[in-house]
Amino acid sequence: MHVLLAVFVLMLAPVLTTVAQPNWSNPKVLQINTVTPNATLFSYPSLTTAVSYDASTSSHYQSLNGSWKFHWSSTPENRPKNFFVKDYNDRNWDTIEVPSNWEIQGYGTAIYSNIPYPFPKEEPHISANDNPVGSYRRNFEVSSDWQDKQLFITFDGVSSAFYIWVNGQKVGYSQGSRTPATFNITNYIKQGKNQLSVEVYRWCDGSYLEDQDFWRLSGIFRDVYLQARPKTYCSDVRIVTDLDEDFIDADLIVELELGGQLYGSVSIHLDDSDGKSFFTAKSAIKEKVIFKTRIKSPKKWTSESPYLYTLFVSCIDSNGKVLEVVPQRVGFREVDIKDNIFKINGVPVKLKGVNRHEHHPETGQVVSRESMLRDIKLFKENNINAVRTSHYPNVPLFYDLCDEYGIYVMDEANIESHAYGTPYWYNHEKTTNPIANKAIWQASHLNRVSRMADRDKNHPCIIMWSLGNEAGSGPNHDATYALLKKVDPTRPVHYESDYRKGLPATDIHSRMYAAPGWNSEKQLTFTGVIKPSLLCEYSHAMGNSNGNLKEYWDHIYATPTHIGAFVWDWMDQGIKKPIPYQYRENIGIGPVKDYALAYGGWEPSAYHNDGNFCMNGLIAADWTPRPGLLAIKKMHEYISVESVAPKEGIYRIYNHFNYNNLQDQVTGRWVLTCDGNPVARGSLKDLDIPAEQNATVQLQLPYIDSKDTHEYILTFTFHATKNYSTLVESGHEIAFSQFNITPINLNSNALDSTDTNTLTFEQSDDFLDIQGSNGLKIRFNKNSGYIEQYEVQKITLFDQPLQLEFWRAIVDNERVLKRKPPIPKDWKNACLGSHISSYTLQQGEHGTLIIEAIIKLEQVNSVAKLQYTIYPTAQIDVELHLKMPTANKIMKGRFPYERFDQISRPRRVGMEFRLPISMQNLDWYGQGPNATYIDRNYERIGLFSGSVDEQWVEYSKPQDNSNKTAVRWAQFTNKQGDGIRLHALSEPMSVAAYNYSIETMETAKYSFEMDRSDHLHVHVDHTQFGIGGVNSWNYGPLEKYLLSDNHYHYKFRILPVLAK
């Protein structure tokens, strides 16, 4: 290892001749006395110990994690300035765990900000008026076994800048919070007890490059450790695997840098996963040693088969004694772009990815091995093969785990300066970001990118570099691009914010939040060049979102030059907090737990916050999966099925795995259902289908009479084998396909006409009261047009109006509507002031009474026609016709809602029941079990059941969340089994049920604030407005999900369900 003094030396003359800025407010000072960046290396005393690949077991390693003495100061002026002296009295200081974020431990303010800096925007300077300082102290022991060794201390992550002292002597300084800083402290330590002091500044000039959309948290938040290295040691390793043109054999190139006293020899050997040695070589020690050899047919590393070899580097003295052994994992893989097609090991690959912040609900930005494995396990279970380390290098262990379990990684530099402007394709010439363009910031850019690349260069999981995120574009990016192409020509470089002609700072044409159908070719006029297309952020998963995924992936799969897409983002950045005292009585009721997952603004402060805009996850901060994750899983499936000759039971199965035979990955099953009930099932015997190939199977299905009016559905499911992933339980379902064998026949819902008694009725000015022989009582309000009471056999099935409803609790993708609003909210109050313009009552066949009411909705210039057909059997058919103003296409505007002259549209077309609160049991036949919407309806058709509360999907803010589409029938009953059943008659309907009103869900910031209603709110809809998913701020749903028709019609039946 070598000491990095260059930046400091460059600064020496100006520091001596001018009034010095503190290092933390001076972009010319990045590190002082740090070691040259290198790959993550751990030293072991022998090969036997190195095989463990666990540094904590090495006698050359000592963790300094744990309890440290801690003092927090609000400003640099107030800090204890001489705290580093050896005999400083810190007995009255607090203790703090390292690693940790001090705000999570109760010091200072946790700030969530998307774009604005939480400090005065005065680049390159940082104000000293509000820059908290954390002072850390601890002692450590140096064993006599470490005598005559070189001692290094490494800080894997400190936010945002820090000084270090050992035994009262200043050692150095570093900034750049997401890559390690290592110091050689050999000349500062002594045997026995030593004292370590660290002074951490919350903000530094580097904070101008750390303007990511996340919680602004501080402190020593990654591992701190010591390493003892022999007098001759391996200071860096670079491993390159260069596959031949047929991607069979490979050249293995190992470049070593040696440090200390250069004597003795160095050897390497490569072992496979069983410990068998493939290659050994030896050389005399010199400053740089390069080994190169051809490896015949090594097993390749891919996300499907992440095979790893281990390289052992041994430093040996002149007497043949092993001084140290340094292991490195090796994956043979090659990344290539040919004809604008992205390939891994010569095979075109689609990246099915997510953006992932490092976040833990209890520890903030301190993540554990267990939490990382939890993420990767969910990736594997849900067909996610790639992750973007948004927007900074992650902890080193994460890359080891991605190597081991097979996740492709876009490794992103810790660079974002969003508050100074980031260009878009339509305005890049008008947006100039000074951080990206001023020469004073170039060293910071280069430093961050080079530290990332030096640390992570040997990980096979990393298949591309990224220069950062939303940081403008300019010469500083050109310099970092050139650096990466020089030091690592084996990987492509990504940068989304470069929209200049020729896209000079990226190998990939990347976009954020482009609508489905975008690719590089469509912007040739602006860029002048075509490059592989990638959506580095898309499908903004804020709240109830992730609509129109099918439209995205249909295009991605059909476009060879489209690499894929990364959802924004993986996990809500919620921080676990106890429920406020005044709401604790709600704990255990509905979705309310004994904790909340807090977002920006939880703690009142003077700092700007962006509310719940940090809650964009496919999973909640406590790892609860959301329906959007299941939709992603469906779109990412590696297996599809096509109907070939259904009458003969012939289907074609496609293997979309890139490398592996299907039978090695999955087993297959099929089941045939009649109206949701299984009638036949079997296993798929022969899945010997090579990668990217297909084969037909023939099933022995039972005979179905052509006159049979029942709905028969054939479902294929595919389940992981033990070879699929060691993290995924064998039998876990990873794909399914469904086929209607017979068409849906809603008219098969037979009408019970056994009761031949007639209905009687009485009329008053306001009401029509109907009675039947089975204790049927129905009250119809002649003023509102609604049925207000429904009773059978003295059991009240509902006693509140069955009313029109055109609104739903606003979802996060519509939050912009509260401010602008581009789509008016007049449909929320569409029924206010409504009145019947005509009312008729007539006798129908089968002894029915038919009520027709025409209701004028003057608020929205629309008309609703309701028709009720009431049967002596107590069944009621409800039919709705809604006529709205015509929405004419005018074809202007960037967003779908701007393409119509009439942008006022309802959020739903349907009716709301308010049932007795006791009817909490829900059964349905339709899509499920998870929530679906018109533009996110990828669940299977089946029979499902559960309580109403179990359907609730908890988002950061309450909103509409648990709708079910394609419902044939749904039933709500109480504990006794009494209730109502709803049958679709015209076409499948949507059904949702809540214990909360729309108004309650819309106004609450957290679910614990909600008061439960006295009635159960059941929505039976013909259709709903799309939830959207392109973004959460201006796009809205795609055009076909805008409810732009001017006429909607549907029909459903109400039936009593009686236990007796």
Strand pairing category for 150-155 and 224-229:
antiparallel
Q: What is the pLDDT of residue 899?
A: 76
Assign 751 a pLDDT band (cuts: 50, 70, 90).
low
CA-closest candidate to residue 1030, choices 513, 617, 455, 533: 513
Write the single-letter amino acid at 923.
Answer: D
Give the separation between CA 639 and CA 633, rounded to whole angstroms: 11
Assign 430 a pLDDT band (cuts: 50, 70, 90).
low
Q: In what side-by-side order are the strands of the sheet with 277-284? A: 277-284, 265-271, 309-316, 322-330
Enter the DSSP assignment of 766: S
The percent of residues in the chain predicted with pLDDT above 70, rounded, is 95
Helix (H, G, I), strand (E, B) or coil at 37: coil
Assign 757 a pLDDT band (cuts: 50, 70, 90).
confident
CA 91 distance to own-chain centroid? 44
Q: What kind and span of H or E run contains 669?
A: strand 666-674
Q: Is 898 a catalytic residue?
A: no
Chain-wide mean pLDDT for the chain? 94
Q: Please name the residues in contact with 1015: beta carbons below 8 A apart, sequence gap of 6 or more.
A: 800, 914, 915, 916, 917
- Calculate mean pLDDT across residues 760-784: 94
pLDDT for residue 15 is more than 50: no
At residue 977, φ and ψ (nearest 5 deg) are: 95, 5
Q: What is the pLDDT of residue 904?
A: 79
pLDDT for residue 18 is more than 90: no
Quick: pLDDT tens for 809-866: 999 998 765 555 455 678 999 999 888 999 999 999 989 999 999 999 999 999 999 9
Write the single-letter amino acid at 222.
Answer: R
125, 129, 130, 211, 330 from 119: Cα distances, Å: 10, 9, 7, 11, 43
pLDDT for residue 897 is more than 90: no
Q: What is the pLDDT of residue 88?
A: 97
- Calculate mean pLDDT across residues 507-521: 95
**Are the C-beta atoms of 178 and 413 separated by less than 8 Å?**
no
Q: What is the pLDDT of residue 750?
A: 54
Assign 384 a pLDDT band (cuts: 50, 70, 90).
very high
Tokens of 468: 């950062």
Quick: pLDDT tens for 874-884: 999 999 999 99
Q: What is the pLDDT of residue 14?
A: 37
Assign 426 a pLDDT band (cuts: 50, 70, 90).
low
Q: Which residue has the tokens 């509902």?
A: 798
Quick: pLDDT tens for 566-603: 999 999 999 999 999 999 999 999 999 999 999 999 99
- Choose, from 537, 551, 805, 879, the residue flagged as catalytic: 537
Lowest mean pLDDT among 72-81, 161-170, 631-640, 901-910: 901-910
Q: Please name the residues in contact with 1047: beta carbons below 8 A apart, sequence gap of 6 or more.
A: 881, 882, 883, 884
Q: Is 537 a catalytic residue?
A: yes
Quick: pLDDT tens for 359-382: 999 999 999 999 999 999 999 999
- Calculate mean pLDDT across residues 536-543: 98
pLDDT for residue 269 is more than 70: yes
All domains in the chain, ordered by first residue: 3-32+64-228 (2.60.120.260), 232-335 (2.60.40.10), 350-574+615-630 (3.20.20.80), 638-743 (2.60.40.10), 760-1057 (2.70.98.10)
Give the separation between CA 203 and CA 565, rounded to whole angstroms: 33
Residue 888 burial class via C-beta count within 10 angstroms: exposed 0-12, middle 13-18, buried 19 and up: exposed
- Choose, from 123, 210, 470, 912, the residue flagged as catalytic: 470
Give the separation between CA 856 and CA 853, rounded to whole angstroms: 10
Assign 16 a pLDDT band (cuts: 50, 70, 90).
very low
Dihedral angle computed from the Cα positions of residues 523, 527, 529 and 533, in that order, rounded to the nearest 10 degrees: -50
Between 6 and 511, the higher pLDDT residue: 511
Q: What is the pLDDT of residue 4?
A: 45
Euclidean distance between the first and final Cα of the chain, in Å?
A: 83
Quick: pLDDT tens for 315-356: 999 999 999 999 999 999 999 999 999 999 999 999 999 999
CA-closest candidate to residue 480, choices 443, 433, 527, 427: 443
pLDDT for residue 425 is more than 60: no
Strand pairing category for 61-63 and 224-229:
antiparallel
